[in-house]
Structure 1
């Protein structure tokens, strides 16, 4: 009799635990409840926490890359602050543009929806179709770590420069000409900058070889 009672209690406890876990909303449900598409986070979420202020942490099974119009990289841990239609203070997601990776600092959608989603990558807001993020994407394991550009130099003229990590391009710089009337930055390739410096060096050498007046 006692054995039957213990088995009944054990089965009841297991059933209660299963029901409790299944009733907990997923992180994708949390995104949708905040007016955001579920596909902002990939498949492979193993755990997450959200507090009453909207601060969240998401833990993936591995760092990975997902393909939309651009490539997105997800660290194993992604964090930020949720509000309706917006994620702020975002960390752990980077977006690829050409051969560069830019940290995504925030994401927002229009309320009411215009069908557009905006990614804040520091220089501009990148616009994507909201339909790209309807479902969580497959995410392939990242074969190497991603070093996102994080240091911005802004001059008085409004020109922005991004300094690349020396492991990527030696000591060269990639320069961005920023025109406040345009909503995008014009990229000057590293080779262009190197050639420009080379021409300046040659001009300086020729100038030094000229005879000085008055000697």
Structure 2
């Protein structure tokens, strides 16, 4: 007696169809997952506060497998926080890992009269250590709970741009 199933030859394209379908569905779910996360959410996934980057990032690329990232701003971004002047180039690059940002480029801090590149940021519990290579400084993580704004940092309330300068407006009640 023969088999109840008849033998049919399957074309090579028809046999590859399920493979293409699985690959297409997998790729679309990865793209959708990446497209829905902001760069600020990615920072939080790696245990960093959002305030390490200024508000207004226009786009970013992140490679999950290597940790390499590129962040794009609308232009250069400068602001002052307390006694520190910071400058972000329009493109910031580095490598992101749990509790460590390394190989940074595009972020500078003014120390006395010199602009030094911040090359690494490390989180140790509730402290962030910022390294410029030859020296480092520690700050509480809570100092970076909010994103600074280009031009005014965290001191933007009642700031008005007039004749290319920042001036503070006072109001009386």
Q: TM-score, normalised by structure 2?
A: 0.64
How far off is 1:57 after superposition?
A: 0.1
Select 1:98's aligned residue among 107, 112, 120: 112
3-state SS of the aligned residue for 2:146?
Answer: coil
Within 5 Å, give how 1:128-167 maps onto structure 2: 128-140=139-151
Judge conservation of contact 1:68–1:132 (CA < 8 Å) in 2.
Answer: no
Select 2:98's aligned residue among 84, 88, 95: 84
Decide whether aligned partners of structure 1 residues 126 and 47 sit closer, same or farther in structure 2, where only a CA change above 3 A counts: same
3-state SS of the aligned residue for 1:138?
Answer: coil
In structure 1, runs of 5+ residues without a counterpart are 1-19, 142-215
Could you give the per-residue CA deviations for residues 130-167 of structure 1, whole angstroms, max 9, x where no partner exists? Answer: 222111111129xxxxxxxxxxxxxxxxxxxxxxxxxx
Select 1:60's aligned residue among 73, 76, 80: 73
Distance 2:70 2:110 in 1: 23
Structure number with the bigger relative contact order (C-alpha 8 A, sep ≥ 6) is 2
Deviating above 6 A after TM superposition, structure 1's stretches of 4 or more consecutive aligned residues are none
In structure 2, runs of 5+ residues without a counterpart are 1-31, 153-173
Q: Which structure dedicates a bigger proportion of its chain to helix?
A: 1
Could you give the per-residue CA deviations for residues 37-75 of structure 1, whole angstroms, max 9, x where no partner exists? Answer: 110000121000000211000000010113223121100
Distance 1:93 1:22 in 2: 25
Distance 2:86 2:140 in 1: 15
Q: Give the number of aligned pairs.
A: 119
Could you give the per-residue CA deviations for residues 60-112 of structure 1, whole angstroms, max 9, x where no partner exists? Answer: 001011322312110000000000011000000001111211001110110xx
